[in-house]
Amino acid sequence: MNPGSGFNGVFFRLLGPLQVEAGSEQVHIPPGRQQVILRALLLEAGRTVSTDHLVDVTWDCDPPDTARTQVQICVSRLRKSLAPLGTPLLTSPPGYLLRVEPEAVDVHLSRILAERAGEAVAGGRPEEAVALLRRAAGLWRGPSLGGPSGRLLRPLADRLDEDRASLVEAYLDLELELGRHDLVVGEIDDLVRRYPLRERLRYQLMLALHRSGRRAEALRVYRRGRELSTAELGREPGPELRALEAAVLAGESPPDPDPAPAAPAAPVAVPAPRSRAGAPCPRQLPADTADFSGRGEQAAALEAALTGPGRGGGRAALCAVVGLPGVGKSALAVHVAHRLARAGFPDGQLYCDLRGGSGTPLDPARALARFLRALGVPDRALPEGLGPRARMYRDLLARRRVLVLLDDAADDRQVADLLPPGPGCAAIVTGRSGLAGIPGADLVELDVLPQDQALELLRRVIGPERTDADPEAAAELLGTVGRLPLALRIVAARLVARPHWSLASMVARLADERHRLDQLSHGGLTVRAGLVPGYEGLAPDARRTLRLFALADGPGQPGWAAGALLDDRRPRPDELLEPLVDARMLAADGTDAAGGPRYRFHDVVRLFARERLAEEETESERREAAARLVGGWLFLAEEADLRTGGGSGRIGAGGRWRPPPADAVLRDPAAWLSADRSRLCAAVDLAADHGLDELCWNLALALVPLFHRRGYLREWDRVNDRAAEAVRAAANRRGAAAVAYSRGCLDLDRRRPADARAAFEEALAVFGELGDVTGRAWCTWGLARLERAAGRREHALELCGRALRDFQEVGDPDGEGRALMLSGHLRTAAGAVDAGEADLARALTLYERTGDPRGRARVLSRMGRMARDLGDERRALRLLTEARELDGGEERVPRTVPGPRDLGDRDGTAARAPEQA
């Protein structure tokens, strides 16, 4: 009974402005008397309405002499408008009859849905009742009957609006009974603001807040209501509110509220179905999702496990469906249960929402009581306690074929006594975690939808025309919500409710990550509400781990990042993250260079974690955690440079945080860099975002030799830009000079000698003013390289000599060796072979003394090429072979970049420099 599915596909709306819908089209009914008469006929759909009543309604009991004639004219025109729709408007003395099914008029449909909700409550299916009542209340689009002003219709309109309020209060009562306090707090709060004098709503808000552990807020709600009641009505709040306030003040568990009427009309009594043997045959499954899409592989796996050959091994067949909040566990389980229900399990289906993610899981004894009642056990025969109820439950199911669906379980202990025992039965259990311990259960893990299935779901909900009209926006929309089914359904519901919105406009609304979760809300569906219970169910340490881990950006993060963020130096910091994996707040995402697991957020969970980070961690705490994480990446970058032939430098000082598994991570530094370069760039961004300018430029500079060796010029350019922003914002001149030096090195790799010269000269001027000898040495050496390339050997030798003296002053043997290599090459090229060989011999001695095999390999390679040029091929072969053996035979990008080591930072620590041949 969807709107629009009534008589001949026509649907009439009175709960708001009058509308006549024929499929997707609106049928125009002229305002004025025609609408008044049609409204009166629809209110009595299928019954004769007298002409006298139509006259009174149209002219508010003060008709003109021609009133009956005018009614006849209006009816004639209405008949012409409605005839093409197949909706007969008949003359039926003493008036007229509009032949239309009650389900095709929203006023009557709301009552039918409410009656069915009453039946669901009586049958022990509160979740189904909630869905029906929400559908009924959702039929209102404004004041009933379009807000009529006439004396005859005004009381009826007021009564209909009161019916809607009763429906809302009824489904909220059921939601509270189901333990969904956290999920409905926001909805009730909004209703209380709109209807501040409705005590029932205020009671529900206080109850939801109190049961969510928010006592102070509950008391504020009461005090505000008391102020309004005394000011507006001149009386104290009612006894229910006063009793609840007393319970909150005393810290007692408040009583359940007296149930509001479940429907404007009394529910219809429907006899419970019976099995073939005469025993009760419960049919408790919630309604299947009409537009269920995708999950074919998982659905097939569930069906095979529950009904296939050899299932159960003499026991009931069991399946557990796990996944993060909003991934569609319940929808899949209900869908499969409906497909299996009639043929595979003729003795009935039991269903219970165990509220495992609510923070207040349902007591298994209460769940068993519901099941036993559904199986025909009267209240007076219900045993007390979990054990006796479980024994009776097992006995009743031992010889039956029943399917049991246990939704949202907290863990395997909660469901242990609810699982059916007999080989003819089966059970599906859904939950976020803790279900791997169910004996004999097949585990089905759900992730987000694949791209094609997510697109198909969007097409089914909003229609293929809108989706196919802008495929690029559709794809971007799927990416923005991370293909999470709940988020996708919310977005689709908003688009359906607003047909004038384009997909591109929805993407624009979701573009700002800070407010994206606010946009992922529609009616009773919110992504945030689905994540809150799981978060609050974590231990305090795990909650803080989740918050701080959200600082790390980029793809999956290594486990040591959690240790850095929390300043926890345990040998296996990934242990901090495993509770979050168990709670499905994180997912494992491959392995890092050390073979340890990487972890990733779903995009929506990361947004939620960052909201909590902003609310629960101070700016100082966030900044300190970010500094440790960036320091960890800085340590690894510097160590990787050393292990691939970089020069000496001060390691692990000045705020660097040493990851416990550093040695394992850097077993293959080149592979580590290739795998982690996007995370290294993200760490530079993190430092810039948190004003960590020293760490930002130090890390950017430490990456120069690594990016140079592998030819990662795009990443190099990006980190230069971010570091430049950070040092500019902090007015950090030394950092700005270091970034300018890095830019000069990049320009050399890109064959832009003029730009490189300008960058080196800019950096050299600042280093000179600051008295930074190391920085001055490396810039001078870079300029010497440029002079050599330009053919100005004498000037290049002069600059090389200056650089050598500066390197010697600061005690940098790597820099000395590089300067001597360059001068040896220049002297040899000028014909001074002996002097050139002497410089190279000095460089070789330096690298032998420092134990740098890569430095030795560079010198030997230079000496071998010189011997080849001089015609001594035997010596050249020996030297080049030795160089290759020392260097490990690694293939590299041709080296053209001069690089600094240890550009001094403000606290006297060292920033790493790039390697140079």
Residues linked to residue 20 through DSSP beta bridges, in sequence order: 12, 27
Q: How many CB atoms are closer than 10 A to CB 528? A: 17
Q: Distance between CA 744 and CA 749 in Å, rounded?
A: 9
User: For residue 15, is pLDDT > 70?
Assistant: yes
Q: From the CB of residue 269, how many other CB atoms can be counted at a distance below 10 Å?
A: 8
Helix (H) or strand (E) holding 89: strand 89-92
Span 647-670, average pLDDT: 64
Task: Return d(Cα 249, Cα 830) in angstroms, integer.
Answer: 94
Distance CA 22, CA 7 (A): 10
Crossing angle of helices 239-250/199-211, nearest 10°?
20
Cα distances (angstroms) measured from residue 106 to each of 42, 145, 153, 307: 10, 11, 17, 42
Tracing tokens 């890109």 back to the chain, one arrives at 750
pTM, two decimals, is: 0.63
- What are the tokens at 180? 């969904």
* Percentage of residues in the chain having pLDDT higher than 70: 89
The yes-or-no verdict on residue 780 having pLDDT over 90 is yes
Token digits of residue 55: 């006259």
Can you give the pLDDT at residue 309? 56
Is the pLDDT score of 899 beyond 50? Answer: no
Please give the order of strands across the beta sheet that includes 587-591: 557-558, 597-600, 587-591
Question: What pLDDT shows up at residue 251?
Answer: 62
Confidence bin at 714 (pLDDT 50/70/90): very high
Please identify which residue in the block is written with the tokens 């914002």. 729
- The SS3 of residue 129 is helix
Q: Give the residue carrying structure tokens 């269920």.
A: 292
Which residues lie below 8 Å from residue 521, measured CB to CB, with a gap of 6+?
A: 490, 527, 528
The predicted structure's pLDDT at residue 150? 63
CB–CB of 37/79 below 8 Å?
A: no
Measured CA to CA, the distance from residue 205 to residue 190 in angstroms comes to: 10
Q: Do strands 89-92 and 587-591 pair parallel, antiparallel, or not at all (unpaired)?
A: unpaired
Model confidence at 837: pLDDT above 70: yes
Residue 721 CB contacts under 8 Å (≥ 6 apart), including other chains = none
**Which residues, in sequence order, are CB contacts of 214 under 8 Å at separation 6+?**
185
Angle, alpha carbons 451-456-461 (nearest 5°) = 130
Give the pLDDT of residue 250. Answer: 66
Look at 19 and 657; give whichever has higher pLDDT.
19
How much is the pLDDT for 646? 61
Q: Report how far Cα 581 is from the mean position of its chain's Cα atoms.
A: 14
pLDDT higher than 80, residue 708 = yes
Q: DSSP string covering 836-878, please? A: HHHHHHHHHHHHHHHT-HHHHHHHHHHHHHHHHHTT-HHHHHH
Q: What number is the average pLDDT over the span 809-823?
A: 88
Q: Which residue carries 């909900």 as its tokens?
A: 461
Classify residue 65 as exposed, middle or buried by CB count within 10 Å of its CB (0-12, 13-18, 19+). Answer: exposed
To 10 degrees, what angle do helices 773-789 and 733-749 make?
A: 20
Q: Which three-class secondary structure state does DSSP give residue 445?
A: strand
pLDDT digit string (tens) for 730-748?
Answer: 999 999 999 999 999 999 9
pLDDT at 904: 39
CA dihedral 681, 686, 692, 695 (to 10 degrees): -30
Q: Bridge partners of 428?
A: 319, 405
Dihedral class, residue 150 (left if φ above 0, else alpha if ψ from -120 to 50, else beta): beta
Q: List the beta bridge partners of residue 443.
A: 320
Which of 51-55, 173-177, 796-800 ranks highest by mean pLDDT?
A: 796-800
Kindly state the average pLDDT of the residues 573-591: 87
pLDDT of 502 > 80? The answer is: yes
For residue 901, pLDDT over 60 is answered with: no
3 state SS of 773: helix
**93 pLDDT tier (thresholds 50, 70, 90):** confident
Condensed to tens digits (0 to 9), the pLDDT of residues 296-355 reads: 888 888 888 888 655 555 577 889 999 888 888 888 998 899 888 866 788 888 999 888
The predicted pLDDT at position 290 comes to 65
DSSP class of residue 512? -
* % residues pLDDT > 90 (the chain): 28
Contact 356, 431 (CB under 8 A): yes
| pLDDT digits 0-9 by tens, 512-559 | 888 888 888 776 567 887 788 788 878 899 999 999 999 998 778 999
Token pair in block for residue 434: 């803790």
Closest CA to 641 of 902, 906, 908: 902
Contact (Cβ atoms closer than 8 angstroms) between residue 443 and residue 436: yes
Q: Give the sheet arrangement for strand 442-445, strand by strand.
A: 349-353, 403-409, 426-431, 317-322, 442-445
The DSSP bridge pattern shows strands 317-322 and 89-92 to be unpaired
Helices (H), 276-382: 296-307, 329-344, 364-374
CA dihedral 256, 258, 264, 268 (to 10 degrees): 80
Mean pLDDT, rounded, for 896-905: 41
Work out the number of other CB atoms within 10 angstroms of the CB of residue 571.
8
Query: What pLDDT does 688 receive?
Result: 95
Tens digits of residue pLDDT in 611-647: 999 999 999 999 999 999 999 999 988 888 877 766 5
Confidence of residue 381 (pLDDT cuts 50, 70, 90): confident
pLDDT band at residue 275, thresholds of 50, 70 and 90? very low
Enter the tokens of residue 496. Answer: 């359906």
Structure tokens at 477: 């929309």
* CB of 418 closer than 8 Å to CB of 368: yes
In whole angstroms, what is the distance from residue 580 CA to residue 311 CA? 32
The pLDDT of residue 623: 95
Summarize the confidence of residues 775-786 as an average pLDDT: 93
pLDDT at 632: 92
The residue-averaged pLDDT of 680-695 equals 94
Amino acid, res. 296: G
pLDDT value for 4: 46
DSSP bridge partners of 321: 430, 444
How far is residue 529's CA from residue 521's CA, in Å, rounded to a whole number?
9
Closest CA to 177 of 253, 116, 257: 257
pLDDT of residue 645: 64
730, burial (CB in 10 Å: exposed 0-12, middle 13-18, buried 19+): middle
- Helix, strand, coil shares of the chain as percentages rounded to 5? 60, 10, 30
595, pLDDT greater than 70 = yes
Query: What pLDDT shows up at residue 107?
Result: 92
Q: Which residue has the higher pLDDT, 310 or 492?
A: 492
pLDDT of 498 reads 84
Burial string for 124-135 (b: 16+ CB within 10 Å, else e) reads bbbbbbbbbbbb
Helix spans in 251-295 (H): none
User: Can you tell me the mean pLDDT for 756-773?
Assistant: 94
Residue-level pLDDT at 549:
95
Average pLDDT over residues 852-881: 85
| Mean per-residue pLDDT, 240-258 | 68
φ and ψ of 663, to 5 deg: -65, -40
Q: What average pLDDT is seen over the chain?
A: 83
Query: pLDDT confidence of 898, banded at 50, 70, 90?
Result: very low
Residue 584 confidence (pLDDT)? 84
Q: Of 292-296, 474-478, 685-689, 864-868, where does mean pLDDT reach its minimum?
A: 292-296
